[in-house]
Amino acid sequence: MTKRCEDVKQRCSWVSTDPDYVAYHDFEWGRPTYDSQELFELLCLEGMQAGLSWITILKRRSSFRQAFDRFDPKCMSAYSEQKIEHLMKNKGIIRNRLKIKAMITNAQMYLALEKQQSFSDFLWSFTGGTPTVHHYKEAEAIPTSSNESLLMSKALKKRGFKFVGETICYAFMQASGMVNDHETGCFCYAKCLPAQNKVN
């Protein structure tokens, strides 16, 4: 069941009243993203979220961007042990050594993949280059993984990426708009439809 907030807009039922969360839902979550570096940032943050709530990551996103050179893969790929120790002292981010090292590895794998094809094209290939539209009325019906997220996970792992399990990949696909999992009663549902399926 969608949630009706003070501004009368109907939103997905999982959205809290936190202003940052509302803004993220309204203007980012589920909006198709095709920029490779933006997708890389999102995949890193989804990996950081593992075992935590998204609001925990969202509240620290600015600190993450500052700490990780705005998720520039070239910069991150060259991080030294000294840099890792510096990051481990940063109270503004999630200080998990395994996750930090995974992000550095993923930056290196990103650069390797980009020599063959764009990161964006690679990731979007799992939905045929266009968003997959679902028709869920309630959050309880929305899955936490799919055949596509499993295939994406396997492909990323094969290329050396870390913290890219099928559940993380599905959350990433939802956030990046590769799948439209806004509840059908949510005002964002129609806004996130592919052009040919737009509801007037």
Catalytic site residue from 21, 29, 46, 166: 46
**What pLDDT, on a 0 to 100 scale, did the predictor assign at position 7?**
60
Residue 24 catalytic? yes
Residue 138's pLDDT band, with cuts at 50, 70 and 90, is very high
**What pLDDT, on a 0 to 100 scale, did the predictor assign at position 200?**
31
Residue 146's contacts (CB-CB under 8 Å, 6 or more residues apart) are: 166, 170, 173, 179
* 134 labeled part of a ligand binding site: no
**What pLDDT, on a 0 to 100 scale, did the predictor assign at position 151?**
99
Name which CATH class applies to 3-197: mainly alpha
**What pLDDT, on a 0 to 100 scale, did the predictor assign at position 186?**
97
Domain ranges of the chain: 3-197
Q: What is the pLDDT of residues 29-86, one digit of tens each?
A: 999 999 999 999 999 999 999 999 999 999 999 999 999 999 999 999 999 999 999 9
Q: What is the pLDDT of residues 111-135, one digit of tens each?
A: 999 999 999 999 999 999 999 999 9
Residue 166 catalytic? no
Residue 46 catalytic? yes
**What pLDDT, on a 0 to 100 scale, did the predictor assign at position 6?**
52
